[in-house]
């Protein structure tokens, strides 16, 4: 995993009025909401005796340990040791390791890394998904490193083989390009030009011109992706790292062709079984990857032209890793 990045780690609905324990980025974390409903995050370990704080509760705006009742404020500082009385001052060292959080668009992010800079900016999201969209959602576990799950969604050549009975119908095996465009170094857009092999050579990316409204893929580092199907339909995925061998795919179907909230939500949720089916067509193949983690050099892998989006992803990933060493 890459340090010093905003990672989507949870859906907002997963953190309610009780502490929630979740393994993310190889660490056991606890999430809770303070009195202003802001989500807080810390290591799921009481510094006193090492028990899981996620087994405790939120009491008067404090996270309370289930073992001896120690209470921690929103910043992770211990403010009460019951055995020593309310008149005592807990030592400054009795505090939790915390991560900054951000909540928007129904997602919870954490700033995973070293001490956050004073001018830490909010995470990026897709500017073309506005409040008029209504979405349905699902969570799917994959036994794969998140980098491999990301790359699968950037792979434009596998559709007629892995998805030949669903989205890959039509035998469009020849890949022109693909064309990859960076938007202010924040988002990578991939324009797909797949067609039936008529014996002609695949066109170069430099020969291709994206059209307005064309289906394309968008990716924001480190773990957000969307399939821009049309102005009114999108599929979004957050590739949430659990550890080096497990990823949770947070999948959403966005629509705004039916704007009535109740019925729009029903329609969006009804689309999820088919989207999960398509994702699971990929899952078994992706879980077979060796090596487990992708890299720019790729070990024994031998990339082809159609892998351009994957190579671009690996270049940025490699650069960020070197920057954080």
Residue spans of the domains in the chain: they are: 5-112, 134-323
CATH of domain 134-323: 3.90.380.10
What is the pLDDT averaged over residues 71-81? Answer: 96
CA-nearest of 277, 292, 15 to 149 is: 292
Say what percent of the chain tops pLDDT 70.
100
**What's residue 186's pLDDT?**
83
What is the pLDDT averaged over residues 155-161? Answer: 95
Contacts of 148 (CB under 8 A, 6+ apart): 286, 289, 292, 293, 294
What b/e string do you get for 45-78 counting C-beta neighbours within 10 Å, with b at 16 or more?
Answer: bbbeeebbbbebebeeebbbbeeeebbbbbebeb
CA gap 68, 256 in Å, rounded: 50
Residue 115 reports pLDDT greater than 90: no
CATH of domain 5-112: 2.102.10.10
Q: State how far the alpha carbon of 170 is from the alpha carbons of 161, 175, 201, in Å.
A: 11, 13, 19
**What's residue 295's pLDDT?**
87
Phi, psi of 77 (to 5 degrees): -80, 135
* 153 neighbors 144 (Cβ within 8 angstroms): no
Residue 109 reports pLDDT greater than 80: yes
What is the pLDDT averaged over residues 176-198? Answer: 91
Whole-model pTM: value is: 0.94
**What's residue 298's pLDDT?**
66
Residue 214 reports pLDDT greater than 80: yes
Contacts of 24 (CB under 8 A, 6+ apart): 7, 9, 10, 110, 112, 240, 241, 242
**What's residue 54's pLDDT?**
98
Query: Predicted confidence band at 171 (pLDDT cuts at 50, 70, 90)?
Result: very high
CA gap 11, 140 in Å, rounded: 13
Q: What is the pLDDT of residues 273-317, one digit of tens each?
A: 999 999 999 999 999 998 889 888 867 889 999 999 999 999 999
């Amino acid at each position: 995993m890459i340090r010093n990045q905003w990672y989507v780690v949870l859906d907002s609905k997963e953190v309610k009025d009780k502490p929630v324990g979740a393994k993310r980025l190889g660490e056991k974390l606890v999430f809770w909401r303070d009195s202003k409903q802001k989500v807080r995050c810390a290591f799921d370990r009481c510094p006193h005796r090492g028990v899981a704080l996620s087994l405790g509760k939120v009491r008067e705006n404090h996270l309370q340990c289930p073992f001896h009742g120690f209470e921690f404020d929103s910043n992770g500082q211990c403010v009460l040791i019951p055995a020593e009385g309310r008149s005592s001052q807990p030592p400054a060292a009795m505090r939790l390791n915390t991560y900054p959080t951000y909540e928007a668009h129904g997602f919870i992010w954490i700033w995973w890394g070293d001490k956050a800079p004073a001018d830490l900016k909010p995470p990026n999201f897709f500017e073309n998904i506005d409040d008029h969209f209504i979405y349905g959602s699902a969570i799917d576990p994959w036994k794969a490193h998140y980098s491999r799950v990301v790359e699968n969604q950037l792979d434009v050549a596998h559709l007629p083989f892995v998805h030949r009975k669903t989205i890959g119908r039509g035998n469009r095996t020849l890949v022109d390009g693909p064309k990859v465009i960076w938007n202010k170094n924040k988002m990578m857009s991939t324009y797909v030009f797949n067609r039936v092999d008529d014996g002609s050579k695949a066109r170069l990316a430099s020969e291709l011109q994206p059209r307005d409204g064309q289906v394309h893929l968008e990716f924001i580092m480190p773990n957000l992706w969307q399939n821009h199907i049309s102005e009114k339909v999108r599929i979004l995925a957050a590739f949430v790292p659990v550890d080096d061998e497990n990823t949770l795919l947070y999948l959403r179907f966005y629509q705004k062709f039916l704007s009535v909230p109740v019925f729009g939500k029903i329609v969006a949720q009804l689309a999820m079984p088919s989207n999960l089916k398509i994702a699971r067509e990929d899952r078994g193949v992706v879980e077979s990857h060796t090596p487990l983690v992708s890299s720019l050099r790729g070990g024994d892998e031998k990339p082809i032209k159609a892998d351009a989006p994957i190579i671009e992803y690996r270049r940025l990933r490699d650069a960020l890793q070197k920057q954080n060493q």
